[in-house]
Amino acid sequence: MPVVTYQSETIDATPDAPLLDTLLDAGHRIPHSCRSGVCHSCMMICQEGTPPQAAQNGLKPAQKRQNMFLACSCLPTEDMTVVLPDQSQITSEATITDITWLAKQVYRLKVRADMDFIAGQYVTLWRDGETGRSYSIANPPNDDKEIEFHIKHIPDGAFSDWAHKLTVGDTLRIQGPMGECCYGVDDVECPLVFIGTGTGLAPLYGIIQDAIAHEHQGEMHAFIGAYNTDTLYYINELKALSSKHPQLQLHFSVLKPSDDQPDGVQTLALDQLVLDQPLPLKQSHIYLCGAPDIIEKLRKQLFLNGASFQRIHADVFVHSAP
């Protein structure tokens, strides 16, 4: 059985249990969030031994050279001595420039940071050295170095409840960017289909703006769904984009109707809203962002209706602790 050494303590590691769980069970406080290798919150450094290749999937070449790995994806196969990296090695400082409520349960957080990114990527925001959450970038790169995030507020949430109380000028640490759910098509005439649930609109809003900035000419359909109007937002902003760029067509739906439901918002399941439209799925690049169950259901339905798996780009919002 492999032995892992952490903070001078030796711990027996079972090959079928992620190292993250082994360390947490031993009473150590290891930063983590998604537990699925997506957010990179649980990154560690192997000082002795070799981390499994699977534990380095998605890391940058420079990080691999430093023997960094993801504890949630690490099934130890040999003895290892591991440490947590210094936060300065993997994060940078960001300054709050705006906090605005967009809906009853969603607020916008803008920060200024010296970070190169592409609209649709995601970043981990850190409250401290242990509590981090990953959020998608909702805007394309800009000269002001501003990065926009849309955050669903969870009462008493370890991050979202803390972050909405920040004020302009406050700072926090950010890590990233990561992800490849971005605009990058070669044919500016091909159709684009955007489908998002809740704050899954965030990366789509950025990608749509990026496509427009790249003078995309093909028809674009944006399908935005929510459980109710408490998490439905940016309707006017999207309508303003559509009025300037008529190739962008908008479709909104909620599952639960309300008295304050905006005009044009249907009461309909999102997948039904999508499949009711005569879309050129075979030719389209499709962007899916939001809750895992809905996204996986849509991915299968779209494929069965003619979409190419190679042209379906998904950003699945993995659930983490509140």
pLDDT at residue 275, as a whole number: 93
* Amino acid identity at 139: N
Q: What is the pLDDT of residues 63-87, one digit of tens each?
A: 898 899 999 999 999 999 999 988 7
The whole-chain average pLDDT of the chain stands at 92
* Two tokens, residue 195: 């489908």
Whole-model pTM: value is 0.80
SS (H, E, C) the chain: CCEEEECCEEEECCCCCCHHHHHHHCCCCCCCCCCCCCCCCCEEEEEECCCCHHHHCCCCHHHHHCCEEEHHHCCCCCCEEEECCCHHHHCEEEEEEEEEEEECCEEEEEEECCCCCCCCCEEEEECCCCCEEEEECCCCCCCCCEEEEEEECCCCCCCHHHHCCCCCCCEEEEEEEECCCCCCCCCCCCCEEEEEEHHHHHHHHHHHHHHHHCCCCCCEEEEEEECCHHHCCCHHHHHHHHHHCCCEEEEEEECCCCCCCCCCEEECCHHHHHHCCCCCHHHCEEEEEECHHHHHHHHHHHHHCCCCHHHEEEEECCCCCC
| Domains defined for the chain, CATH in brackets | 3-87 (3.10.20.30), 89-178 (2.40.30.10), 192-316 (3.40.50.80)
- List the beta bridge partners of residue 266: 253
pLDDT for res 41: 85
Contact between 305 and 118 (Cβ < 8 Å)? no
The Cα–Cα gap between 25 and 14 comes to 12
pLDDT of residue 86: 80
Please check the confidence at residue 316 and state whether its pLDDT lies above 80: no
Reported as a single tens digit per residue, the pLDDT across 139-194 is: 999 999 999 999 999 999 999 999 999 999 999 999 888 888 899 888 999 999 99
Pull the structure tokens for residue 172: 């926090």
Instruction: Give mean pLDDT, residues 202-219.
Output: 96
d(CA 15, CA 191): 46
Cis status of the peptide bond prior to 257, with omega within 30 of 0: no
Read off the tokens for 302.
């779209």
Q: Can you tell me the distance from the alpha carbon of 177 to that of 163, in angstroms, rounded to the nearest whole number?
A: 19
pLDDT tens for 90-148 read 889 999 999 999 999 999 999 999 999 999 999 999 998 788 899 999 999 999 999 99
322 pLDDT higher than 60: no
pLDDT at 176: 85
Question: What integer pLDDT is reported at residue 43 of this predicted model?
Answer: 92
| pLDDT tens string 260-275 | 888 889 999 999 999 9
Question: 295 near 314, Cβ under 8 Å?
Answer: yes
What's the confidence (pLDDT) of residue 291? 84
Query: Which of 192-201, 288-297, 305-314 is predicted most confidently?
Result: 192-201
pLDDT tens by residue, 219-262: 999 999 999 999 999 999 999 999 999 999 999 999 999 888 88
Q: Which residue is it, tokens 């299968």?
A: 300
- Of 264, 262, 188, nearest to 222 by C-alpha is 264
